[in-house]
Amino acid sequence: MVPLAQACNFPGSRGDGVHLWKEAERAELRAELDAAYFHLYGIQHEDAEYMLSTFTNTGLLLKDERGLQQYLWRPRGIGDLVLRAFDRPQ
């Protein structure tokens, strides 16, 4: 990939065409992509929240004392990142 990066004048994070991923940066980019797909498919916030809750490690689905569903997202977890990206102005 280095020859392609150099041909495209992509310096990368090291300056030689190689980009070293930072896990936080990568998680943020994935969250923005997920949020963009929700918007492209016309999915509303509540539905996106429900869909995220059905996957492992994205968030936690809780029921409150009245039997209603309440979503509690781990701060900086995948569900939290996606929903924050979803709510940003376009």
pLDDT digits (tens, 9 = 90+) for 15-42: 888 888 899 999 999 999 999 999 999 9
What is the reported pLDDT for 84?
95
Q: How many CA atoms lie within 13 A of 78 on its CB side?
A: 15
| pLDDT higher than 80, residue 90 | no
| pLDDT higher than 70, residue 67 | no
DSSP the chain: -HHHHHHTT--TTTSSS-----HHHHHHHHHHHHHHHHHHTT--HHHHHHHHHTSTTS-EEEE-TTS-EEEEPPTTSHHHHHHHHHHS--
The mean pLDDT value for 54-67 works out to 72
What is the reported pLDDT for 74?
81
The mean pLDDT value for 2-27 works out to 89
What is the reported pLDDT for 17?
86
Confidence of residue 63 (pLDDT cuts 50, 70, 90): low
